[in-house]
């Protein structure tokens, strides 16, 4: 079954390029595309997409506010933020709002289809530049009261790798373990952190500085 996708992007040329990428992909189906998100709740409820590509900076309702609205009634749809911003605040706000992944617009042509596949598998893809911004923001935050959540050293390594935007496949290769083993560790991490998604786990790691 094809992955139903909606695009929100105010740049007409980029929106057209995104739509073409989706329409020419054998695994994706374009449900709709919009230059603004002022009616995002109505559109998402009507179209029931699997994945949403969401520009952060749009006139009217911006991407972060749109994510908040969507998460108010739908926790399952995967939302990949598209951004040219190089400031950490927007990225952290998107994480806290409930975004599933984050791509710099310059990386779209090379990584978009892979990112969509990853979010459908429960991962949270991030462009390297965005992962770097997240880590920089984390380093600048006041250090909270320590709480290790009884994470093992291996779990801390995996959580740290997730926070850098690495895929399950790359984590497994780096640690010389199978993807199934990575998934087992991540399930235990979720249980210990009392979260349900990779985005929540990364957000908690950032806010509470659980990784170096």
Same domain for 72 and 175, yes or no, is no
Same domain for 156 and 112, yes or no, is no
The per-residue pLDDT for 137 is 58
The per-residue pLDDT for 106 is 87
Same domain for 119 and 157, yes or no, is no
**pLDDT tens for each residue of 114-134:** 999 988 888 888 777 676 666
The per-residue pLDDT for 55 is 94
DSSP E strands, the chain: 3-8, 28-34, 51-55, 78-83, 101-104
The per-residue pLDDT for 48 is 96
Give the total number of structural domains in the chain: 2
Same domain for 130 and 146, yes or no, is no
Same domain for 70 and 22, yes or no, is yes
Q: Residue 189 sits in a domain of what CATH number?
A: 1.10.10.10
* Rounded Cα gap, residues 32 and 34, in angstroms: 7
Residue that terminates a domain, selected from 109, 136, 163: 136
Same domain for 48 and 126, yes or no, is yes
Same domain for 32 and 102, yes or no, is yes
Buried/exposed 38-58: b ≥16 CB within 10 Å, e otherwise? eebbebbeeeebbbbbbbbeb
Residue that terminates a domain, selected from 99, 120, 136: 136
Q: Residue 19 sits in a domain of what CATH number?
A: 3.40.50.2300
The per-residue pLDDT for 133 is 64
Same domain for 56 and 149, yes or no, is no
Burial of residue 191 (CB within 10 Å: 0-12, 13-18, 19+) is exposed
The per-residue pLDDT for 195 is 86
Tokens of 142: 């006041």
Residue that terminates a domain, selected from 117, 136, 155: 136
The per-residue pLDDT for 13 is 94
Same domain for 45 and 102, yes or no, is yes
Same domain for 35 and 129, yes or no, is yes
Same domain for 41 and 100, yes or no, is yes
Confidence (pTM): 0.70
* Rounded Cα gap, residues 53 and 17, in angstroms: 12
Would residue 66 be called left, alpha or beta, if left means φ above 0 and alpha means ψ between -120 and 50 degrees?
Answer: alpha
The per-residue pLDDT for 203 is 78
Radius of gyration of the chain (CA): 17
| Domain ranges, residue 61 | 3-136
| Lookup result for tokens 């429960």 | 122
Low-confidence stretches of the chain (pLDDT beneath 70) = 85-88, 129, 131-147, 212
Angle subtended by helix axes 108-120 and 12-23, to nearest 10: 60
Same domain for 42 and 25, yes or no, is yes
């Amino acid at each position: 079954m094809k992955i139903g996708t909606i695009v929100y992007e105010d740049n007409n040329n980029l929106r057209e390029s995104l739509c073409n990428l989706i329409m020419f992909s054998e695994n994706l189906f374009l449900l709709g595309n919009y230059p603004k998100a002022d009616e995002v709740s109505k559109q998402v409820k009507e179209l029931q997409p699997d994945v949403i590509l969401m520009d952060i900076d749009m006139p009217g309702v911006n991407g972060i506010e749109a994510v908040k609205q969507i998460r108010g009634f739908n926790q399952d749809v995967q939302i990949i933020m598209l951004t040219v911003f190089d400031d950490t605040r927007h990225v952290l706000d998107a994480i806290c709002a409930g975004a599933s992944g984050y791509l710099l617009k310059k990386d779209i042509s090379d990584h978009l289809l892979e990112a969509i596949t990853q979010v459908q598998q429960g991962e949270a893809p991030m462009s390297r530049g965005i992962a770097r911004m997240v880590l920089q923001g984390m380093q600048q935050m006041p250090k909270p009261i320590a709480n290790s959540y009884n994470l093992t050293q291996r779990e801390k390594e995996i959580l740290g790798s997730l926070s850098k935007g690495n895929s399950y496949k790359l984590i497994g290769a780096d640690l010389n373990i199978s993807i199934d083993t990575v998934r087992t560790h991540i399930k235990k991490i979720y249980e210990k952190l009392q979260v349900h998604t990779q985005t929540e786990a990364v957000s908690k790691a950032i806010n509470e500085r659980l990784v170096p």
